[in-house]
Amino acid sequence: MCSLLMGCRLAVVVVVVVVTLCGGGDRGRGWGAYGRFIELNVTVAVAEDVNVTEIFRAKEEDMARRGITHDAQLFGRADADGKVQELVWGSRVFPVYMETKMDWYNMTYSYINLDHTFWTVNRADFTNITINSFTNDTTLESVDVEVDWSPPPVPPHSDLSPATATLTSALHHAAINIDNTTVSIYPVDEGWMEIEEVTTGVFLQVVHPHSHRVTQTVTFPIDRPLVAEELVRTLRSLSNGSVALLASYHNTWKGLDASSRTALTSLGSHAAKYLTAHDSWVWAWQEGDLRDLGVVVLASARPQLLYRLVLAVVEQGGAGVVDRMVVSVDGPQQHETIKLLQLLGVPYRVHMPEGQGSPRISRHLRFALFTALKLLTVDKIIVLEEDLILAPDFMEYMRQTSVLLDRDPSLYAVSAYCHFAYVHSARDTTRLNRVHSFPSYGWMVKRNFLEETLPMWPPVFVAVDWDYWMDSELVRLEREVVIPEMPRTDHHGTTGVHTVDPKNTAGFSNKALSNGTHTRLDLAIVMKESYEEAMKEELKRAVPLHVKDPNNFTFPTQQGVVSAVCVKMSHSTDNAAFKHLTRCHRGGRTSFPTYVPTILILLAVTIMCSDRTTTSLASGHEVTHLEGEELARQEKEWEGYTEGLVRLTPGRWLFPSTFIQYADKYYHFKFQEKDVLLMTYPKCGTTWLQEIVWTMRNNPNLDNPMAKAPVNARVSFIEMDTLLKSKKMPDITPDHPLMKGFQMMCPGRDPADGVFLQMTECAPDPRTIKTHLSLSLLPQNLLDTSKVVYLARNPKDAIVSFYHHSRIFKNHNYTGTFDEFVQFFLDDDLIYGPYWLHLKTAWKQRNHPNLHFMFFEDLKNNNMEELNKLNNFLNTKLTEEQLKNISHYTSFSEMKARANLLGDGADMFFNLDIVNKDGGFFRKGEVGSWKGKYTTEQEHKIDQWIKKNLGDLDINFKYSN
């Protein structure tokens, strides 16, 4: 492990690699936040005449952004062991995006390298590696840069003489005279009230030793928790030579605890020890060399932004921190930046850049933090980037919150930024919150946190963003970050690794920024225990919002009302509701009112916590996630279902958990009069019926060119989105024919809202729609609106057909035995089950004028008769001749020959080895093909089950021709 870390300065062997895209082997992994991956065939010339072909996975987006085309010639840079970790293109070097395997509550983290090996980090490996182990690390050496100065250099600050100050302090007044000018006189009588409207507390004013400007004015209400301690720290943090005035109102001192008195005494106060209640006191002095906070700034090629930032830091309250600031410059070529720093007299160090993209930023930050530890003898380090804008109370914010880092070990950082703070949603400048996350855009950590974390910092060949890295449990150890409701920084960079995309830059607009000074933060509320108590109190008074339609709801506008929105996630990556809330929050379609004091979002990750596993659906069904043995049994035999399974009560309907995401949308689906819905339990002849009905309605003369489209594109499968996620199947990528079809059919729609669902919505009239859902999960007025054809099949054939289906389709990926499958079927443990309830719910409606009930066996044996019945029901008015032609066109042999089920790109759904061995979707298409498949015992069991469930139902299944 050690060698990996220390060996990040690679002994480089350059070998030639030729990169081409794998023909047709598109293994996209989704188009979510992490983009799509492509596989690259890389031929690595490891030695003369010896080529090795390796397959690397690379992020397509990254390749495209770098302008790398499929036929580009790339070079692989291998280390001494021949491992390729970077690709070189022209003069540029970059790592191929690496996949990360993380187990949130496990201390081991693995990052996939380019060569498919893992860079694994475990805290235990770092027990003997300390910050001192890096003394010989050459990546931490600052580069000496000679810059050419044409104009004569301006004297640095240190050449300016400090002002001559005369200080007077006494029990009743204090005065300060700088260079013969009286800057402040505060007699402790009526004048005091003019200083501050707050009538209790200690008042501090600080004057800059060089500019003579008042740089800080703060009131400390020291009867409040932690404030006395902060007062002492503030005094200790004053720069050398600062001139400070401290005055107190008469009834304050009982709030000053013993340690504060000692600290004030150590700063030179004679009176602090003796102050008692009702004393008034004024003290003025000029010194202060005890340091608490230091600043490190990351800079590169934007000197104009750096200038703005450095000025803002220096002008911050507390006489500035220029002597406790260091700037880390990324790259010796940044001459303008370096000149600026020389002009300003700000200390800097120059980092030799390492890597590209995320690693480059991460490695620069590492260098900057190491540099800060080395050069700044402070206890807390504030990290800034050159493109930040600081609020006037930025330093005050950091100074006050620094107390929290000492007092509360469950915190590891303070962030100046808040990602949810928009001008309409952030108001309270005193309010702090805690987040389980990483800090950003101006943050502060303690020296010992850096000493603990820096040795584990990712090497250059690991393409992890530093903030995600800090967010990992490996680093965080369950500690949290303090964030403000009102941000103390704003991010106004125009270019940068993460701001090239206009969407990202837009995300920074409309953000709130504090414009206050003298902000008194509510520190006590954010201490772990009180924070949790306060949250519970908020929860108690929270008014739950009953959201019926997640796309159309509002928040109450009264001030002081706390609203609770319960966001239910149907699986661990279900972020649909969050996305919607975020859109609202930014001021989208359903925006929050101008100011919502608290928005509580309660998460019920239903698959994880058993006491929160029940959800109600619009259909009235209660949802329970499968757990324990029941889930284990399913997961063992069904490798396809990725996100678990749910049961609906009443009915015991079983579905993949993704069903919950769409259930209410199916229930509220707007069926229309012209729609015909084809309803079946799986494997009962749906596809056959689809072709028959679509042809009767759209292609009676068999001359419609649309007939060439796959049957499932012409008759959309409304709930297919529920079945798409599978561990065994790659996600469907945006360039998959299905997605192209979606974009053409539903332009501008978001696939996250359901590809098949929306294709069903957008389908042209007259719509013929397929479903395996029972009537009870669809709109109550369905039969009053549209025609429904229900096709039933005898269970013995259905079981055999379903078994075959479950093996050939990867989204099911059934690996159990046939015997176990039979048991799954009889126990109602197959999705869409129970078979009998499905059938009986429709059977009850068989006399409804808008429902036509049919049997597979009749369709097979008396095809024309059944087509005639359909002709009447659908009112298609076809001639006998037309029906005959359709009968032939939709026969098993014809449909099997066309095999036009899903169209291009269908291969990804199938286990082709099983298809080649046991046949494809069009298996037998017969009545009685179950014969010879069941053992006597199985058959007996099925017969008993049929007898029991059929009861006195007037159905006579035919089990053979």
Catalytically active residues, by annotation = 772
Rounded least distance, CB 648 to ligand PPS, Å? 20
CB atoms inside a 10 Å sphere around CB 525: 17
The DSSP result for 845-882, as a single string, is TTTSTTEEEEEHHHHHHSHHHHHHHHHHHHT----HHH
Q: Does 797 bind ligand PPS (CB under 6 A)?
A: yes
Question: Residues 397, 688, 821, 835: which binds ligand PPS (CB under 6 A)?
Answer: 688
Nearer to ligand PPS, 574 or 797 (CB): 797
Nearer to ligand PPS, 76 or 685 (CB): 685
Nearer to ligand PPS, 683 or 725 (CB): 683
Nearer to ligand PPS, 480 or 866 (CB): 866
Name the region of 212 (left: φ>0; alpha: ψ -120 to 50; beta: rest).
Answer: left
Rounded least distance, CB 890 to ligand PPS, Å? 5
Nearer to ligand PPS, 662 or 688 (CB): 688
Q: Which residues contact 364 (CB under 8 A, 6 or more apart)?
A: 298, 300, 328, 330, 351, 353, 354
Q: Are strands 214-220 and 281-286 parallel, antiparallel or unpaired?
A: unpaired
Q: Are strands 676-680 and 645-649 parallel, antiparallel or unpaired?
A: unpaired
Strand partners, 166: 177
Which window, 206-214, 241-249, 263-271, 801-809, contacts ligand PPS (CB under 6 A)? Answer: 801-809
Q: Are strands 599-605 and 676-680 parallel, antiparallel or unpaired?
A: unpaired
The HSE-up count of residue 422 (CA atoms within 13 Å, CB side) is 21
Which window, 61-69, 117-125, 797-805, 948-956, contacts ligand PPS (CB under 6 A)? Answer: 797-805
Which window, 145-153, 345-353, 404-412, 798-806, contacts ligand PPS (CB under 6 A)? Answer: 798-806
923 CA to centre of own chain? 43
Rounded least distance, CB 931 to ligand PPS, Å? 12
| Dist. CA 958–CA 793, nearest whole Å | 9
Question: Residues 252, 371, 401, 680: which binds ligand PPS (CB under 6 A)?
Answer: 680
Site size toward ligand PPS, by CB under 6 A: 21
CB atoms inside a 10 Å sphere around CB 130: 12
Could you say which residues in the range 871-930 bind ligand PPS, by CB under 6 A? Answer: 890-892, 895, 922-925, 929
Tokens of 91: 């003069």
Q: Does 801 bind ligand PPS (CB under 6 A)?
A: yes
- Computed from CA positions of residues 331, 335, 337, 339, in that sequence, does the dihedral angle turn out positive or negative? positive
Over the window 575 to 614, marking each residue x when it contacts ligand PPS by CB under 6 A and - when it does not, the resulting string is ----------------------------------------
Taking a C-beta distance cutoff of 8 angstroms, is the pair 36, 733 a contact? Answer: yes
Taking a C-beta distance cutoff of 8 angstroms, is the pair 676, 768 a contact? Answer: yes
Rounded least distance, CB 795 to ligand PPS, Å? 12
What one-letter code names the amino acid at 226? L
Q: Does 687 bind ligand PPS (CB under 6 A)?
A: yes
Taking a C-beta distance cutoff of 8 angstroms, is the pair 202, 220 a contact? Answer: yes
Question: Residue 950 — φ and ψ, nearest 5°?
Answer: -70, -35
The HSE-up count of residue 539 (CA atoms within 13 Å, CB side) is 10
Question: Residues 317, 320, 442, 685: which binds ligand PPS (CB under 6 A)?
Answer: 685
Which window, 358-366, 385-393, 485-493, 796-804, contacts ligand PPS (CB under 6 A)? Answer: 796-804
Which window, 289-297, 302-310, 609-617, 686-694, contacts ligand PPS (CB under 6 A)? Answer: 686-694
Rounded least distance, CB 924 to ligand PPS, Å? 4
Rounded least distance, CB 544 to ligand PPS, Å? 40
Which letter, b or e, does each residue of 178-212 get, where b requires 16 or more Cβ atoms within 10 Å of its Cβ?
Answer: beeeebbebebeeebeebbeeebbbbbbbbbbbeb
Among residues 778, 772, 766, 662, which one has the least CA distance to residue 722? Answer: 662
Question: Residues 238, 391, 418, 684: which binds ligand PPS (CB under 6 A)?
Answer: 684
- Distances 787 to 130, 780, 874, 925 between C-alpha atoms, Å: 74, 13, 8, 26
Q: Does 553 bind ligand PPS (CB under 6 A)?
A: no
Which window, 576-584, 683-691, 834-842, 878-886, contacts ligand PPS (CB under 6 A)? Answer: 683-691
- For residue 417, the SS3 value is coil
Question: Residues 682, 710, 754, 905: which binds ligand PPS (CB under 6 A)?
Answer: 682
Rounded least distance, CB 688 to ligand PPS, Å? 4
Could you say which residues in the range 171-190 bind ligand PPS, by CB under 6 A? Answer: none
CB atoms inside a 10 Å sphere around CB 631: 15
| Dist. CA 1–CA 387, nearest whole Å | 36
Q: Does 804 bind ligand PPS (CB under 6 A)?
A: yes
Rounded least distance, CB 560 to ligand PPS, Å? 55
Taking a C-beta distance cutoff of 8 angstroms, is the pair 474, 411 a contact? Answer: no
Which window, 87-95, 101-109, 598-606, 678-686, contacts ligand PPS (CB under 6 A)? Answer: 678-686
Rounded least distance, CB 653 to ligand PPS, Å? 16
Rounded least distance, CB 574 to ligand PPS, Å? 26
Q: Which residue's beta carbon is nearest to the bound ligand PPS?
A: 925
Per DSSP, 334 falls in state: -
Nearer to ligand PPS, 163 or 831 (CB): 831
Nearer to ligand PPS, 366 or 793 (CB): 793
Question: Residues 157, 492, 805, 933: which binds ligand PPS (CB under 6 A)?
Answer: 805
Per DSSP, 125 falls in state: G
Q: Does 683 bind ligand PPS (CB under 6 A)?
A: yes
Nearer to ligand PPS, 508 or 922 (CB): 922
Nearer to ligand PPS, 757 or 830 (CB): 830
Nearer to ligand PPS, 291 or 683 (CB): 683
Nearer to ligand PPS, 591 or 887 (CB): 887
Burial of 494 (0-12, 13-18, 19+ CB in 10 A): exposed
Which residues form the interface with ligand PPS (CB under 6 A)?
Answer: 680, 682-688, 797, 801, 804-805, 890-892, 895, 922-925, 929
